[in-house]
Structure 1
């Protein structure tokens, strides 16, 4: 668990001692663990962005297709015409 915290500190720029940074150079296994942790964070980030995009698209579809939002649509469209 301590190693994971050290890797996170390194990835997020909080590693003031640079222990992981020097370990990456000398320890191939550590470099691989850091690489996989970085990839895991990237996947979580992409998932979050995709989820947010889906939610925003659902809101957009609701506001611009349901009849109860017709007044809102007209007001928005007037802003661009």
Structure 2
């Protein structure tokens, strides 16, 4: 799905991905059991797209254990002077 900018595995659509996840439980499970995937085309697409598969998982994951205070302290803010000059 190109609307979310998460690449996924090229050639494996939402329906195919759901089928694989239902059968193997996770992306890790899919790659641990590639030899069990009977469809050679799908197996090859998964092999070629392994890096994107794991990148997609990382991009779509929510992290709950972030220390917000640390993030706030490390945040940088834009210099407002150029904007103020434009607005004058």
TM-score by shorter chain over 0.5:
no
Higher normalized helix content (fraction of residues):
1
TM-score category of the 2 structures, normalised to the smaller one: 0.3 to 0.5
Question: TM-score by structure 2 length?
Answer: 0.31
Question: TM-score by structure 1 length?
Answer: 0.33
Larger Rg: 1
